[in-house]
Structure 1
Amino acid sequence: MTADTVASLAFQPAQRVRAIGVSEILRITDNANALKRAGRPVIVLGAGEPDFDTPQNVREAAVRAIGRGDTRYTVLDGSPAMKAAVQLKFKRDNALDFALDEISVSAGAKQVIFNALMASLNPGDEVILPAPYWTSYADIVQICGGVPVPVACTGENGFRLDAAQLEAAITPRTRWLFINSPSNPTGAAYSAAQLKPLCEVLLRHPQVWVLADDIYEHILYDGLAFATPVAVEPRLREHTLTINGVSKAYAMTGWRVGYGAGPRALIAAMAVVQSQTTSCPSSISQAAAIEALTGPQDVVAERCADFQARRDFVVAALNRAPGLHCRVPEGAFYTFASCAGVLGKRTRGGALLQTDSDFCRYLLQDFEVAVVPGSVFGLAPYFRISYATSMAQLEEACARIIAACAALE
């Protein structure tokens, strides 16, 4: 067998994934953790995962489900009890009424997004992504045959999309608009008054559907009221998929339960996709999620207060660092700070910092703090910090960041 023959038989990835890699956030986190395993005192502020334990009552519900033998397949897109819990949550928290066949439950909110796009996008359909955006959005759009259309939303406008930008971005090929509030990576949130002009644009373009990613709904600060598009403008109901999950509010990232609610036809098409991928979510995880959604909710507010204290500390610390500027996020557990003021400077080793990626690499290599460059999220020059970790870790990390900025020449 010739070398050319061997080469021709080598694995070739499908076109749909050739330009897509593993999540850059996970790659950065893995690299930082490898340094930690090698003995370096790296502080990792990359992953969006609460450091709290899953609440005790939720864990106990899972144990009871195992004891009952609830370990078999459930209904494809969520057990009736799980869908009833989601139904209750939407009515209690958002004053939205959904029938059980308007609800889909999957192995995480990411799968709900994938199912929706796989079920609805045709090749070349466009999806508007207010940037900065969670990195997986664009990759999922591409895998499903669509075209991501980033729209830059700057810090001057609170990293929020405005009506004029939305109007300008819509074309005859536009199929979806993503709204993530509070946002990953910026923590920016839309009030009802800020969503209303966007809804008015969407009413003029009924071919455009809305994907409302509300996963950080319960991590909102300073007494701000949560708003979601369908609650603000009920006429969008037949063109909106509202997505949420238990990962962030209830510290259940590893349980892998997300859910969405929307028009029956879309939910049914999503079930077709799920039937040929994962089938039902874990029965034990569903039992735990039912308890999370229907049990005592006090822990959610308590943990939100802890996150707010961390936010206040990190924002103040970053704004003391020479060359950095950080706005105060309204929710989630991220800061998205500008590092424009340090670009063009040199490290003590003589390296020139030209991009936000250069700055983040410098923080990791020289000061052992892992953060994520804003360019990964579609907007530079910024960097994201996840403050879903202990205050002691945040204090040390921020001290290192301040020292790193002060050391630049």
Structure 2
Amino acid sequence: MTDAAQGKSPDNPWPVRSVAMMVKDWIDRLGTVWVEGQIAQLNVRPNSSTAYITLRDPAADMSLQITCPRDLVHNAPVKLAEGTQVIMHGRPSFFVGRGSFSLRVNQIRAVGIGELLARIDRLRKLLDAEGLFDPRLKRPIPFLPNTIGLITGRASAAERDVVSVAEARWPAVRFAVRNTTVQGPTAVAQIVAALRQLDDDAAVDVIVLARGGGSVEDLLPFSDETLCREIAKCSTPVVSAIGHEPDNPLCDLVADVRAATPTDAAKRVVPDAEAEQALVTELRHRSARALRNWVHREQHTLSQLRSRPVLAQPLAALAARSAEVERARATARRDITRLIDAETKGVEHLSARLATLGPAATLARGYAVVQVASGTMPVLRSTADAPAGTRLRIRVADGAVTTVSEGSDSAGSDSEGSNEAH
């Protein structure tokens, strides 16, 4: 059985010491490395020359165990404490006695404020390019939220400010408070977990992320990429109230509303009951005044309309027209009467003339009309029409007589006398 086959089957296992030594030899070949992170835990024992540090990645739930000489911690360029951002240089090391892995550090450097700000600025440009700061993505805050989710430090001034100011403005306000660490290596993970929990709660209408002021290092978790992206994914509106007015972490730009302070956040999220009541009272007065003014305007308009002659004396126009009609009727009646009188006189005159010129008047004066008494009884116009023996009808003023013609009387001296005799 060769060494190559050893450890490949339960019949030929490696002893613990051999495996530990092989792991150590492999890790020792990795060489040195520079690593950056936040100090999550620092343990410097008084009776030990070695310091033990837990270095945490602020953007992920991962950490490394660091060992270094005690003097390296005391002589570090900055005071090392939990939450300090550092860069370390060391070699991976495997301790065969305990089977543990650590990074043996020989240099510690602090991440300067300038470098931190430069990194935040690079991340800001990246998130801006992805559209996470787009104002069109900002969600409106409800006028009166049912429940306010509050993420803040335990028993912090920020929590007292938000709760006290909100309750003073609207006594019936309700909070769902999630206390987390707000600085240090564990802050991001806890805040993200609380944010997800509140976002999943259907009763929560708005989430407030509140923290008091602090240094750039203290506010680093609120410029973390993981937290910014989690805020952007929330379906519930998020209000960022981190630090004071000059502080401007990246979560302020991603959040739907940026409040200058926690107190300002409470004022933005909860309406002021007294101010709203005063506004309602003012609106009622304004509406009543507007209604009265409208009524007065309409009354004035009606008064103007009623004062016009057509409405003030509606029968005056009819009376005037009636008088005109009566005058026209009288004129027409007078003209008709005059015309009738004139026509009556004309008829009487014509009647008189007709009576004078008519056959009856002529007969009355002694004339007679002689007709041949046969057929159509034509009027006798010539003696030749009445030879002897012709029956004649002679019409006089009071009647007619019948006679027989004896023929023409040629001895007559004049025709007029002859006609008169007939």
TM-score scaled to structure 1, two decimals?
0.25
By relative contact order (CA 8 Å, sep 6+), the higher-ranking structure is: 1
Which is higher, the Rg of structure 1 or of structure 2? Answer: 2
